[in-house]
Structure 1
Amino acid sequence: MSLERARRHRFRSALALFLLAPLIGEFLLGNQPVTALPSVFLLAPLYGGGALLVREAARRAGRGWPTMILLGAAYALIEEGPVDQMLWNPHYGGFDMGAAYAGARVPLLDTGVQLLQDVLTMHTVWSICVPVALVEAFARDGDRTRPWLGAPGLSVTALVFAGGSGFLALAQVESEDFVATPAQFAGAGLVIAVLVTAAFLCRAPGARAAGRRVPGPWAVGALSFAATSGYWGREYLPDGVPAAVPVIGWAVLLAAVLVPCIWWVRGEGWSGAHRLALAGGALLTYAWVGLEQGRYLDVSRATGLIGSTVFAAGALALLVAAASSGARRGPGSPPPLV
């Protein structure tokens, strides 16, 4: 591939991630109806800019998925903390958040444990990691682990992210008529700083462990789908279930995915197909969740369901295309661990 073609391909990858992150984070989930599709350009500076900054920061530092996961968690706290303040607003979006998230609280952040779990899960997994993994699945000629942006592009992305975040933060203050306390902002800032620092202290896994068996991509994808669907299953728990049950269940599901993946990633058979399977399982979970939530959007029921079906079909088509792209490249030489 010529140098100019490689640059164009990396730019297209960056642009794809910039637009895909809000489409997954808001529209596939069913938070926004298809009639609001033009608003993707208002959401992209926050969602897409954040996902692109996370990916570029990790790849420029020579880091991989452990770093991106921790940076994704920092992004989650930025979005739902300083930007829209959902972590602290007891009436966010007109809902009684205090009643919905009653139970134990996290002292430093001054927010509910279950709310914090939701924020970290949705944004780390679906706003950051899933879009990055999907777009990287189309990368070629070593571009998967290379930066896609030069210094000017990275600077512009940072400015767009900061500007978009500031705009949305001001809009939220205006619409919600709520501002958190200085102590709440300071607590969130401290945790975000700790997460960012920890992210860059992470190193890539060691050498591949000879003889370590890795299940096939279908099994890994099934685990991802089951765990992420189980997470959303908490929405269907009957009234009266103790608040500790979903909190503990979240921890169990997290361990059920992280522990085997940490073991498998150093196996000789771990490949891009396995990474895509993890992302694909989570993507399909958002597809069925979006179909469920499409009925409750502020549009007609038919419009909501049609829109959710379109987004779900688009997600499935994207996943198939990503898998086909990897299959066309073939196994080749052993890919980097991260």
Structure 2
Amino acid sequence: MAVGLRPDPAGPLVGEFLLGNTPISDLGSLFLFIPLYGCGALLVREAARRAGRGWPTMLLLGAAYGLFEEGPVDQMLWNPHYGGVPFGLVYAGTHVPLLGTSVALLQDVVSMHMIWSICVPIALVEAFGREPRRPWLGRLGLGVTGLVFAAGSLGLAALQYAYNDEFMASAGQWTVGAVLIVGLIAAAFLVGRSPGPRSPAAAPAPWRAGCAAFALTSAYWAGQTLLRDHVPDWITAFVWLLLAAVASVLGLRWSRGRGWGAGHRVAVAVGALLTYVWAGFVQATDSGAPAAVALTGNAVFGAGALVLAAAAVRSVRRRRTGEPG
């Protein structure tokens, strides 16, 4: 039987605190993030699992969530001075007037939220369930989660509007954003109706899949910190596309291989999680908090991430499930 309401704090803990965007001294803001991140991850998973879909659907819904949060909710996609940061200047090289925003900024938003805000927390929490493909929420829980998500989104949008000098995007920017979000949601339910034929080739060992996830996500973050200031912006955007293509090809190929199962999925999630552990120390010094506070917080959250990763791997090993997903 599906359960009622299960808040998921993993989303904001990974997406904000582990990455170093929010210092440990602001841990109280976790309750502000849970309605958006936590309920958002729950709704993405419930929508996919109730429709009989798997990870391709959740990835696309995670991308739609990212555009929703950074578009209609806080308008970072469109505000050239969001949070006092000159986003318009930082991302000027790949700005496309027709989109009303920057291609590189879209790539960053989709990457961070699709992978780390939504899919990594879902995969890690699913590792502890005996029936990971079944819904977590009952009808009441689903309704309450939806209401909390809507209220949290509206509340955060109002706060961001006031904090960012009442910035409001143009009608054209809102329209393009809505089209992209609706398009991703539609695509999410057009894919994954059937898992496709299984390949006779064996899937790689889970640890190899995890290492590949760590390498690809680390390459993305290394590009953010090392390439962006030294190469043309469109080169960085192309590198992102190349990494996304490699990840997609490997993911589709390996997930159809013989023996692919829960152990592989949690290994991929752990690989991506470990990238945030090291990237968080790089990001922490830009959070505005004193360096000692920022780095102490990342040490604490990094240690917590390692404990969670080890527990998830241990839980999956105990079950030894191999269902498609």
- Corresponding position: 1:33 with 2:23: yes
- How far the C-alpha of 1:281 sits from its partner, in A, is 0.8
Q: Residue 327 of structure 1 is aligned with which of 282, 292, 317?
A: 317
SS in 1 for 2:293: helix
Give the corresponding residue for 1:91: 81
Following TM superposition, the consecutive aligned residue runs of length 4 or more in structure 1 with deviations greater than 4 angstroms are none
Counterpart mapping for 1:1-338 below 5 A: 10=3, 14-15=6-7, 18-140=8-130, 142=131, 144-177=132-165, 178-202=167-191, 203-209=193-199, 211-234=200-223, 235-237=225-227, 239-331=229-321, 334-335=322-323, 337-338=324-325
Which has the higher mean CA deviation after the structures are superposed, 102-111 or 281-290?
A: 102-111
**How many corresponding residue pairs?**
322
1:82-101, Cα deviation, whole Å (9 max, x unpaired) = 00000010001111112211
Please identify, of 98-107 and 321-330, the stretch whose mean Cα deviation from structure 2 is larger.
98-107
The residue identity in structure 2 corresponding to 1:215 is P
Shift of 1:238: 6.6
Report the CA distance between 1:56 and its aligned residue: 0.4
Report the 3-state secondary structure (helix = DSSP H, G, I; strand = E; otherwise coil) of the residue aligned with 1:55: helix
Letter of the 1:298 partner, please give it. Answer: G
State the Cα distance separating 1:239 from its structure 2 match.
Answer: 3.4
Gaps of at least 5 residues in structure 1 are none
Task: Compute the TM-score of the two structures, normalised by the length of structure 1.
Answer: 0.92
The 8 Å contact of residues 126 and 283 in structure 1, kept in 2 or not, is answered as yes
- Whether the 8 Å contact between 1:64 and 1:204 is mirrored in structure 2 is no
The 1-side partners of 2:309 and 2:287 are apart by 26
Question: If the length of structure 2 is used for normalisation, what is the TM-score?
Answer: 0.95
Any idea what SS the aligned residue of 2:213 has? helix
Measure how far apart 1:106 and its partner are: 4.1
SS of 1:298's partner is coil
Q: Which amino acid aligns with 2:152?
A: G
The alpha-carbon deviation at position 241 of structure 1 amounts to 1.2
Paired residue secondary structure (1:269): coil
Distance in 1 (alpha carbons) for counterparts of 2:59 and 2:120: 11
Question: C-alpha distance in 2, partners of 1:326/1:206?
Answer: 24
Distance 1:238 1:59, change over 3 A: closer
Identity of aligned residues (%): 54
Q: CA RMSD in A?
A: 1.5
Q: Is the 8 A contact 1:22 1:40 kept in 2?
A: yes
**Is contact 1:90-1:96 (8 Å) kept?**
yes
Deviation digits for residues 300-338 of structure 1 (CA, Å, limit 9, x no counterpart): 21111111000000001000000001111234xx41x21
Unaligned runs of 5+ in 2: none
Q: Give the aligned residue type for 1:293.
A: Q
Task: Assess if the C-alpha contact under 8 Å between 1:103 and 1:113 holds in 2.
Answer: no
Distance apart, 1:293 and its partner CA: 2.0
Which deviates further from its counterpart, 169-178 or 291-300? 291-300
Q: Deviations over 1:145-179 (max 9, x none)?
A: 11111111101101100000000001111010211
Q: Does the residue aligned with 1:296 lie in a helix, a strand or coil?
A: coil
CA distance in 2, matches of 1:107, 1:59: 37
One-letter identity of the residue aligned with 1:192: I
